[in-house]
Amino acid sequence: MLMRTDPFREMDRLTQQLLGANGTWSRPSAMPMDAYREGDEYVIALDIPGVTADAIDIDVERNMLTVKAERRPVPKADDVAMELSERPLGAFSRQLVLADTLDTERITADYDAGVLTLRIPIAERAKPRRISVGRGSGRQQIAG
């Protein structure tokens, strides 16, 4: 139903780990995700913990779904000295190519406990249906 658009994501993640680079403000980091079909919907769950709901931007253009989010550093008092900082900061993004069988006009989004859940209905035209076949004077129903 969808296709990854960044084949080098895993290599980038390993490079960041080896170089000790946390999230960057210049190049967006990818968001881990799960995608599955549940009944007549396609569900995409993206992990973006520590981001407020108003910092999430979701766009659909034709069959390209783009999710962007930004996590900024928490303002610290003047007398605070940071001892350890491992949480990634900055921009996070993910682009997915959606199949033509999905109804991009009716996507819903919920954000809870750091997980953004997108639900995309299967388009009516993509659902199985019966087609009537004429034979002589009568008609028969067959599965399509």
- pLDDT tens-digit map of 22-59: 444 445 567 899 999 999 999 999 999 889 999 999 99
Contact (CB, 8 A) for 87 and 107: no
Q: How confident is the model at residue 85 (pLDDT cuts 50, 70, 90)?
A: confident
User: What are the structural domains of the chain?
Assistant: 2-75+86-143 (2.60.40.790)
Task: Output the pTM of the full model.
Answer: 0.67
- pLDDT tens-digit map of 94-143: 999 999 899 999 999 999 999 999 999 998 776 677 888 887 765 556 66
For the chain, the maximum distance between any two Cα atoms, rounded to a whole number of angstroms, is: 90
What torsion do the CA atoms of 58, 119, 112, 31 make, to the nearest 10 degrees?
A: -50
